[in-house]
Amino acid sequence: MRERDKMSGFATRAIHEGQEPDPSTGAVIPPLYLSSTYAQERVGEMRAGYDYARAGHPTRTAFESVLTALEGGEATYSFASGLAAEDALLRAVLRPGDHIVIPSDAYGGTYRLLSRIYGEWGIELTAANSSNPDEVASAIRPGQTKLVWVETPSNPLLGIADIAAIAAISKDAGALLVVDNTFATPALQRPLEFGADAVVHSTTKYIGGHSDVIGGAVVIGRGVELTDGRNGGTGTPSVADAVKFQQFAAGAGQGPLDLYLTHRGIKTLDVRMARHSENAAVVADALVEWLGADRVLYPGLAGHPGHEIAARQMSSFGGMVSFLAGSPERARRIVESTKVFTLAESLGGVESLIEYPYAMTHASVVGSQLEVPHDLVRVSVGIETVADLVADLEQAIAK
């Protein structure tokens, strides 16, 4: 065993897992494999297990291995987007007539996928306040609920779900717990350690970290099986096998160049998340000073209703901050007046972004019980000089 293999530090694994020097040349960074197909010695006799890139390729293997190590799971499967990853997991686990519990402040794209696509497939859903485990428990339909889905912190209201408590509730009900860990990343929170069965990521965000790639991933916990004696596409009850089959059979896997960029980004995840969190804490404090504590949503604030739970399951509080501007008109003026913060959808890049969720990322939930406040502003705090970020928000709010 190489000395490196004994290392367990998060940053060390992020940098070295799946990054063995190329055996033929000694290159420190493994090559990017752009080949769509791989030569076979004889029929069915593959070199290193690869035959066709939809089924797998070395660049995918390298990225999936590092995210598995960082989340502490059994296996990871990468996809062309975060929603493609969610779709693969949902198709792997659910059947027509099943029921799923989702957060009452879920990401709009997740709600759109479930309500408008899976709804026509016969899947029923109930939205519940994931910050209140009792509400989640009340929303579960014994025997019908197969998945409980939470985001923590949630998008865009920064709600905090008690992962351990909801994991226990889900297990008692015979349902699997899925945690969207996009906002926290494994650098700050590892849901599988608190009893979650699977983790989903939009790797477009903090995992990639540079706003230059689209991707998603599903990480499955060790030994997780489908409920009610079901088998997946490969004939086994393993959820990991079921998701892997979806990745192969439906063909929504991520391409090698995107995986290469995402893997490059994950190497700096630890230091980036530390800086994102530090800057966001300063921005949140400034917003409290200008607007009042009751209008700023950030789990790092002592007055946040989920602060104690977040402090228990997160090592820091992340780079996302939301606030209530006071009116829709004022919210729009603020997001259109910043100079350092860029008005744009998405989040998690090194640059700071600002948006108006009601008409942008969460327009798909307008008119539903998941509709977000009309005066809500969401900011993705980047890693720029924090004084510049504070000054920019101050001048925008003053307008």
Quote the pLDDT of residue 209: 98
Alpha-carbon distance values, 17 to 74, 167, 168, 202 (Å): 15, 29, 32, 20
| 54 has catalytic annotation | yes
| 180 has catalytic annotation | yes
Angle CA(89)–CA(76)–CA(306) in degrees, nearest 5?
70
Quote the pLDDT of residue 7: 62
Quote the pLDDT of residue 399: 85
Quote the pLDDT of residue 1: 32
* 173, 203 contact by CB (below 8 A): no
CA–CA distance, 300 with 39 (Å, rounded to integer): 53
* 59, 256 contact by CB (below 8 A): yes
* 214, 80 contact by CB (below 8 A): yes
Full-model pTM: 0.95
Question: How many CB atoms are closer than 10 A to CB 399?
Answer: 10
- Give pLDDT < 70 ranges for the chain: 1-7
Which one of 205, 244, 272, 378 is the catalytic residue?
Answer: 205
Which one of 162, 180, 270, 392 is the catalytic residue?
Answer: 180
| 205 has catalytic annotation | yes
Strand 124-128 and strand 145-151: pairing? unpaired
CA–CA distance, 18 with 266 (Å, rounded to integer): 11
CA–CA distance, 63 with 256 (Å, rounded to integer): 10
Percent of the chain with pLDDT over 70: 98
Strand 320-324 and strand 296-297: pairing? antiparallel
CA–CA distance, 110 with 350 (Å, rounded to integer): 24
Quote the pLDDT of residue 278: 98
Quote the pLDDT of residue 363: 93
Which one of 38, 50, 107, 118 is the catalytic residue?
Answer: 107
